[in-house]
Structure 1
Amino acid sequence: MLTLVTGGARSGKSRHAESLVASADGVLYIATSHIFDEEMAARIQHHRDSRPAHWRTEERWQQLAEIITPDNAPNEAVLLECITTLVTNLLFAYGGADDPDSWDYTTLEAQVQQEIDMLIAACAACPSPVVLVTNEVGMGIVPENRLARHFRDIAGRVNQRLAQAADHVWLVVSGIGVKIK
C-alpha cells in the first residue's frame, strides 16, 4: 500500500506521516537530504536525534529500488522523506556543475521521471506499507528565477504522478491531515 503525504513547509507533514507508521513493528526511514552547509547539518542532526532509536535509517536519494524491495518485511513500514528533496538532489546531480540557467530542463525532467517510475514500481512490488512525504510547492506565487520555476513545475508533476499511483493521499494543513484520496 502506497500513501502520499503532502502539504506546505512546516505544515505537520512529518508528524502526520510518522503517525501513519506508528503501529508498524518497525520502520525503515529513508532520508533524502544530504549535508551541503552547516545549517543543513544541524537540521539533519535534529531529525536523526528525534527519530525513534529502533527505526532503521537509510540516507540516500538514488537507487531506492535497492532498499524498497519485494524482500522487505510486510510488518515493517517504509517512510521516505522527502520527495521534493529527492527531486532537488536529482536535478543538481543531472544538471552538473553548469549554471542552472543553461540546463535543458526537458531532459532533466525526463531523467527525474525515470527515477520516479522506478520508485513507483519498487513501492508497488514492496509488501510493506510505504509512506512518501512531499511538499506542495504550487500554492504560492510564480517564482522569479528560471530554476525555481522549473523546479516548481517538475515537483508538481512528480507529485501528481505519485498521487495517481498512491492508494491514499493526505493533505496536511496547520497540523491537520485531510484524506483526499
Structure 2
Amino acid sequence: MADRILVLGGARSGKSIAAERLLADVPDVVYVATGGDDSGSSEWAERVAKHRARRPATWGLAETIDLVPLLESAGPPLLIDCLTLWLSRTMDRLDVWSDLSRAGEVETHIAALAEAWSATPRHVVAVSNDVGSGIVPADAGTRLFRDLMGRLNTTVSLASDQVLWTIAGRILPLT
C-alpha cells in the first residue's frame, strides 16, 4: 500500500511548502492543482505563479477536481493542493451555495474521495486547510462549508498513514 500523507494547517501556515518538500527528491510527481481558473484576478495569478516557480521542472501538472480517477490509477506520486479548493469547487459544481439542501451530494463526493484515498496504489500527499478553529460563521452557507471541510479532513485523516500539522512554517506530526 502506498503512503498517504495529509498536511493540514491554517492559511499561509506553510503547508504547501511542507508538502512539496516531502516529495522534493522525487523527479516524476504529478502536481494536482484543484484551484481552477480565477480569470482576471491578479492576486490569484500571483499565488499560482509562486507555486509554479517552486515546483521542479520535472513534475507534471493536472488541473482538476476529478481526484478519484487519479487516485484509482497507478502512476507516479501525487501532490494534491488542495482539498479545501476541491471542496469549494465541488460545492460550486453541485450548486450547493444556492441550495444548501444539496449538502448530501457533497457528502457522497467526500465518501468517494475517501474510499479512493484509502485504496490508492500511489504515494500521495494532500494539502488541506483546517478552518474549524475560528469563530462560528454568521451565514448558513459558510457554516456548511466549515462543517463539510471538517468532515473531509477527518475522513481523509483517518485513512492516512501520516498526518502533519503546519504552523508558522513548522511541522508537527499528529498521532
Same fold (TM > 0.5): yes
| Residue correspondences, number | 171
Aligned equivalent of 2:11:
9
Unaligned runs of 5+ in 1: none
Aligned equivalent of 2:68:
65
CA distance in 2, matches of 1:19, 1:156: 25
Aligned counterpart in structure 1 of residue 22 of structure 2, from 20, 40, 46 = 20
CA distance in 2, matches of 1:127, 1:24: 16
Residues 46-99 of structure 1: CA distance to partner in whole angstroms, max 9, x if unpaired?
A: 32233211100100012x222223421xxx321101001100001111116xxx
Aligned equivalent of 1:147:
141
Give the letter for the 2:78 counterpart: V
Give the letter for the 1:174 counterpart: A
Identical pairs, percent? 35
Aligned equivalent of 1:80:
80
Residues 74-132 of structure 1: CA distance to partner in whole angstroms, max 9, x if unpaired?
A: xx321101001100001111116xxx3x5134x32x22222222223333333221111
Aligned equivalent of 2:150:
156
Residues 147-176 of structure 1: CA distance to partner in whole angstroms, max 9, x if unpaired?
A: 211111110111111111111111111111
TM-score w.r.t. the length of structure 2 is: 0.88
Give the letter for the 2:71 counterpart: I
Matches within 5 A, 1:29-44: 29-36=31-38, 37-38=40-41, 39-44=43-48
- Secondary structure of the corresponding residue to residue 6 of structure 1: strand
CA distance in 1, matches of 2:151, 2:117: 18
Give the letter for the 2:72 counterpart: T
Unaligned runs of 5+ in 2: none
CA distance in 1, matches of 2:70, 2:88: 20
CA distance in 2, matches of 1:61, 1:90: 7
Preserved CA contact (<8 Å) 2:117 2:159: no
Please tell me the root mean square deviation across aligned C-alpha atoms, in Å.
1.7
Note if 1:53 corresponds to 2:49. no
Preserved CA contact (<8 Å) 1:28 1:57: yes
TM-score w.r.t. the length of structure 1 is: 0.86
Preserved CA contact (<8 Å) 1:28 1:58: yes
The list of structure 1 runs, each at least 4 consecutive aligned residues, that deviate by more than 4 angstroms after superposition, is none
- Secondary structure of the corresponding residue to residue 94 of structure 2: helix
